[in-house]
Structure 1
Amino acid sequence: LIFKGFGPFAMHVVNASWEAVKELSKMGLGKEAGNVKLITEEIPVIYDAVRQYTVNMWNTHKPQLVVHVGVSGIAQEITLEKQAHNHGYDKLDICGCTPDGECCVEGAEECIETCIDMQAVCDYINQSDKKVTAVVSTDPGRYLCDFIYFSSLTINKSRTTFIHVPPLDRPYSARQLAEGLRLAIVAMLQQLKLVN
């Protein structure tokens, strides 16, 4: 299982996605996740780095599940993204660049949806006794989050997801975000029949 958060950008000097992923790494996935190995990595907010990293990650690790995590300034809950887009990447990354043609993967379809049932994942989180809530979204935002998600979906849409988290303490701590992410992963692993 590969679990990735993003590094700092713009007003997100401390990126809640990476803080939540680091916290999850400390907490662990718990007994519900069985013997799944968790690999966590921080990704820079750079289009070229994301493109190269995504291909290398799939080739090197051959993961059973990839969960990308990013921060959204407008999110107020754990936001489970259903799909990603190929075009419209006109926002500058931290190096001041956009991808060629504002496109993620030349010649690919315009929109790809994950095969994982994100509504079922959402229900699993919301029915838990934890104090975090989740929603499902169809718009990851045409920035690096959407870009990395589309990149992975073109490689394997059966085993790729993306989760947006709100900024820290708006309203959740890193620990609470990590707990929400843990619940999401358990639900995904159950769908994939990787755990009971």
Structure 2
Amino acid sequence: SEHLLFGFEPFGEHAVNASWVAVQELEKLGLGQNVDLHVSEVPVEYQAVQNLLPSLWKQYHPQLVVHVGVSGMATTVTLEKCGHNHGYSRLDNCNFYPGSECCMDGGPECIHSVIDMDAICKRVNSSGLGVTLSVSKDAGRYLCEYTYYTSLYLGKGRSAFVHVPPLGKPYSAEELAQALRAVILEMLELMEHNTEKQLCQHGQ
């Protein structure tokens, strides 16, 4: 099964985007033999996201899509639980924002990931990794959340979003990559476990 992993290009004060650097580091580490990982850099542009994501979901039929973004306010690696449809009025790298200020006309106001972020957070925090994780319900109403909502919508919840702090505040690219690796492996295990659980229930 395919898995897609996305980081974002530089924007605003982020001349280097920690999310893309961490994703590239993770690609070097790998997720093990049986995980087919596709890595891609996402433009910080609403229209580019609108064009890119549906074609990628169609092309790969991924089991899971993980987006990684940088947040100047984050001091922990932050797992985002959900994406919201409205409130996108901040200009992107092309000085554009959607006229409707929303992702999907007629889409639900909020879509939650099928992944239990609290469970992932607990597991990775207790694994002695040395990187602190937290959980959030507000991904910031900018391109990070716009992208997350779009993926949640297209993938019926089979998406995750991880916010990372800027490089060196406090974590290095290697530390962020190790944390992402741990998070994604936990997510895949959780999804596999849930699929087995569903199959067992069907079998009854």
TM-score interval w.r.t. the shorter chain? over 0.9
| Amino acid aligned to 1:102 | E
Partner of 2:141: 142
SS of residue paired to 2:120: helix
Number of aligned residues = 193
Contact 1:4-1:69 within 8 A present in 2 as well: yes
2-structure distance, mates of 1:11, 1:44 = 15
1-structure distance, mates of 2:168, 2:156 = 32
Partner of 1:91: 90
Residue-by-residue CA offset, 1:30-86 (whole Å, 9 max, x unaligned)? 4xxx50111100011000001111101100011111000100000011100000110
Residue 194 of structure 2 corresponds to residue 192 of structure 1: no
TM superposition shift of 1:2: 0.3
Residue-by-residue CA offset, 1:71-109 (whole Å, 9 max, x unaligned)? 000001110000011010000000000012111000101
Match of 1:10 among 9, 12, 17: 12
1-structure distance, mates of 2:157, 2:189 = 13
2-structure distance, mates of 1:157, 1:134 = 25
| Amino acid aligned to 1:150 | Y
Structure 1 unaligned regions, length at least 5 = none
SS of residue paired to 2:20: helix
| Amino acid aligned to 1:15 | N
Partner of 1:122: 121
TM superposition shift of 1:147: 0.1
Structure 2 unaligned regions, length at least 5 = 197-204
Task: Name whichever of 34-43 and 170-179 sits farther off.
Answer: 34-43
Partner of 1:25: 27
TM superposition shift of 1:29: 1.5
Paired-residue identity, %: 51
TM-score, normalised by the number of residues in structure 1:
0.95
Runs of 4+ in 1 over 2 A off after TM superposition: none
| Amino acid aligned to 1:24 | L
TM-score, normalised by the number of residues in structure 2:
0.92
Residue-by-residue CA offset, 1:111-143 (whole Å, 9 max, x unaligned)? 111111001110121011211110000000000
